[in-house]
């Protein structure tokens, strides 16, 4: 006899508490299976990387440990979602599919449409719940902020579970050993995934680490301890926004505002998915950039000859995290100093950010590249930022050990060292550390000049109006610029 069941499809919601789809499955009273799907053609996309898989893997292990008392399990399937779900619908009489609604790239959106079509075919009711405060189908932001706050301060769900009553027959989508051997090698330099680790990070921030939050936000070294460091846990859904809000004292205003920015950016992307591939301000569509693959390579590897830029990139490659200002500086350097199209660097940073979320990443990247026409063009000077935010060069020395022996006055501008002095400091320009990839003493870069000129054009202004009308910032975002 064919058993009647429901399915829960886990995506970027890798947690067992404050989880609507899991609650719905419990309340429905039928046996249910919980699935997480790794889809080869999505994993092969240029924004994806091993560190993302490892984080998901660790999160799944944590979920399964938590679900064990009820003999429940999130089953990892390897195959296309359509193929996997089709199989379950053929093996069982599936009544409902429960999941969160994903704000993702075009690829995952198309996948979801295909799944919706198959669910209709199988007569399965697919309920997609709203993820955090992000709404689908908005034409503008009227009332969004109020609705967001209502959601953010509402009580998180305390999920309860009943024992699994179904004998879980094996499915034909096991994870192949190749190419996933890397999963068994723990990467100690990165934040570990999972709800338990998420709670540890959040708790230590709220109890002690927040003390110098504002003072250290912009500092590449100190921010590593003083910022919350919960971004990967929010990105992969180990925590929900309201769980964090619920546990945060109202006095931590700057931090609470940033939780709102999290959803504000994802909401932008939800409303304008073109962010992924096109400059959102159409006036910038045909902007000319110089294409230099050697510049791109140097930027990606942290070998530009600009110590702060290289230190940031190397820290990212190793640990998957740097603070906001340094992310903005990397983008600014790529687009404004190296004169490269933002699209040539956006996927590299997506791959190395452990907290990569397309909804934040693409809009932020474009904002920092200066192609929205709606935000000021902010050019981050690596030397001035180094002198201000890493004045003693501790961050640079940690990540660019070639410059260990340079005195502080040269640490952010090694090109100023004379040939005579360089041998004293055990440093050979162009040999032990690269010459600057572009001229350091340039007044205004051609890219910035072009961006400013374009900003004044009729089309850019017209587009700006359209963008603001549709996606305009909540007032508290205005303070972002002042604080950073």
Ligand X SMILES: Cc1cc2nc3c(=O)[nH]c(=O)nc-3n(C[C@H](O)[C@H](O)[C@H](O)COP(=O)(O)OP(=O)(O)OC[C@H]3O[C@@H](n4cnc5c(N)ncnc54)[C@H](O)[C@@H]3O)c2cc1C
Where do contacts with ligand X occur on this chain (CB under 6 A)?
227-231, 234-235, 255, 258-259, 261-262, 265, 323-324, 327-328, 331, 353, 355-357, 360-361, 364-365, 368
Structure tokens at 367: 């904002």
Closer CB to ligand X, 85 or 360, in the complex: 360
**Are residues 6 and 144 in contact, defined by beta-carbon separation less than 8 angstroms?**
no
Counting every residue written for the chain, the total comes to 484
Closer CB to ligand X, 97 or 328, in the complex: 328
Residue among 301, 334, 337, 295 nearest 316 (CA) = 301
- Angle of helix 253-271 relative to helix 144-152, nearest 10 degrees, comes to 120
Structure tokens at 469: 């009308």
**Are residues 235 and 266 in contact, defined by beta-carbon separation less than 8 angstroms?**
no
Per-residue CA distances from 121 to 85, 116, 369 (Å): 12, 9, 44
Query: Could you tell me the smallest distance in angstroms from the CB atom of residue 312 to ligand X?
Result: 11
Closer CB to ligand X, 318 or 402, in the complex: 318
Query: Could you tell me the smallest distance in angstroms from the CB atom of residue 259 to ligand X?
Result: 5
* Phi, psi at 436, each rounded to 5°: -55, 135
Helices (H), 19-135: 20-28, 40-43, 50-67, 81-91, 106-121
Query: Could you tell me the smallest distance in angstroms from the CB atom of residue 112 to ligand X?
Result: 20
**Are residues 18 and 238 in contact, defined by beta-carbon separation less than 8 angstroms?**
no
For 282, the 3-state DSSP assignment is helix
Closer CB to ligand X, 230 or 338, in the complex: 230
What does DSSP assign to residue 443?
S
Query: Could you tell me the smallest distance in angstroms from the CB atom of residue 250 to ligand X?
Result: 15
Query: Could you tell me the smallest distance in angstroms from the CB atom of residue 4 to ligand X?
Result: 40
Closer CB to ligand X, 94 or 360, in the complex: 360
Closer CB to ligand X, 37 or 350, in the complex: 350
Structure tokens at 10: 């886990």
Query: Could you tell me the smallest distance in angstroms from the CB atom of residue 145 to ligand X?
Result: 15
Closer CB to ligand X, 234 or 374, in the complex: 234
Per-residue CA distances from 316 to 86, 190, 330, 343 (Å): 39, 10, 11, 19
Query: Could you tell me the smallest distance in angstroms from the CB atom of residue 377 to ligand X?
Result: 14
Residue among 191, 276, 181, 173 nearest 238 (CA) = 191
Query: Could you tell me the smallest distance in angstroms from the CB atom of residue 324 to ligand X?
Result: 4
Closer CB to ligand X, 234 or 308, in the complex: 234
What is the distance, to the nearest Å, from the Cα of residue 345 to the centroid of all Cα atoms in its chain? 15
Structure tokens at 398: 């940690």
Closer CB to ligand X, 94 or 312, in the complex: 312
Closer CB to ligand X, 105 or 323, in the complex: 323
Query: Could you tell me the smallest distance in angstroms from the CB atom of residue 238 to ligand X?
Result: 11
Query: Could you tell me the smallest distance in angstroms from the CB atom of residue 243 to ligand X?
Result: 13
- Spatial separation of the C-alpha atoms in residues 94 and 73, rounded to whole Å: 18
- Spatial separation of the C-alpha atoms in residues 58 and 60, rounded to whole Å: 5
- Spatial separation of the C-alpha atoms in residues 334 and 344, rounded to whole Å: 9
Closer CB to ligand X, 281 or 368, in the complex: 368
Helix (H), strand (E) counts: the chain: 24, 5
Mode of pairing for the β-strands spanning 32-38 and 125-129: unpaired
Query: Could you tell me the smallest distance in angstroms from the CB atom of residue 252 to ligand X?
Result: 10
């Amino acid at each position: 006899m064919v058993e009647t069941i429901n399915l829960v499809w886990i995506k970027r919601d890798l947690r067992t508490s404050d989880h609507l789809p899991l609650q719905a499955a419990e309340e429905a009273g039928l046996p249910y299976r919980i699935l997480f799907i790794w889809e080869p053609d999505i994993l092969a996309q240029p924004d994806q990387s091993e560190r993302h898989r490892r984080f998901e893997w660790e999160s799944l292990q944590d979920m399964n440990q938590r679900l064990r008392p009820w003999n429940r399990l999130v089953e990892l399937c390897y195959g296309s979602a359509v193929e996997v779900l089709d199989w379950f619908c053929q093996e069982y009489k599936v009544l409902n599919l429960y999941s969160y609604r994903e704000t993702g790239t075009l690829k995952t959106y198309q996948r979801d449409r295909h799944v919706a079509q198959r669910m209709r075919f199988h007569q399965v009711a697919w309920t997609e719940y709203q993820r955090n405060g992000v709404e689908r189908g908005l034409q503008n932001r009227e009332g969004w902020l109020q609705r967001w706050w209502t959601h953010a301060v509402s009580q998180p769900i305390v999920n309860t579970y009943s024992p699994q009553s179904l004998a879980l027959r094996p499915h034909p989508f096991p994870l192949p050993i190749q190419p996933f051997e890397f999963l068994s090698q723990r990467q100690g330099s990165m934040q570990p995934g999972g709800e338990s680790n998420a709670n540890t990070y959040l708790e230590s921030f709220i109890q002690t680490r927040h003390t110098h939050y504002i003072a250290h936000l912009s500092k590449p070294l100190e921010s590593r301890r003083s910022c919350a460091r919960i971004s990967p846990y929010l990105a992969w859904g180990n925590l929900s926004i309201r769980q964090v809000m619920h546990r945060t004292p109202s006095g931590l205003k700057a931090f609470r505002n940033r939780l709102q920015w999290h959803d504000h950016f994802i909401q932008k992307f939800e409303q304008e998915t073109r962010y992924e591939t096109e400059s959102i301000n159409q006036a910038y569509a045909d902007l000319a950039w110089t294409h230099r693959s050697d510049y791109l390579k140097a930027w990606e590897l942290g070998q530009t000859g600009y110590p702060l830029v290289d230190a940031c990139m190397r820290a990212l490659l190793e640990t998957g995290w740097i603070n906001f200002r340094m992310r903005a500086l990397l983008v600014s350097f790529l687009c404004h100093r190296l004169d490269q199209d933002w699209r040539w660097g956006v996927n590299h940073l997506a791959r190395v950010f452990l907290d990569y979320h397309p909804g934040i990443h693409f809009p932020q990247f474009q904002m920092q590249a200066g192609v929205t026409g709606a935000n000021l063009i902010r050019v981050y000077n690596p030397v001035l930022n180094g002198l201000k935010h890493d004045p003693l060069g501790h961050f640079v020395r940690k990540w660019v050990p070639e410059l260990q022996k340079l005195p502080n006055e040269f640490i952010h501008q090694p090109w100023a060292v004379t040939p005579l002095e360089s041998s004293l400091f055990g440093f050979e320009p162009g040999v032990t550390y690269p010459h600057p990839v572009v001229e350091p003493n340039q007044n205004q870069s051609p890219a910035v000049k072009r961006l400013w000129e374009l900003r004044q054009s009729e089309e850019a202004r017209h587009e700006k109006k359209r963008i603001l009308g549709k996606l305009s910032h909540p007032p508290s975002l205005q303070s972002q610029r002042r604080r950073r």
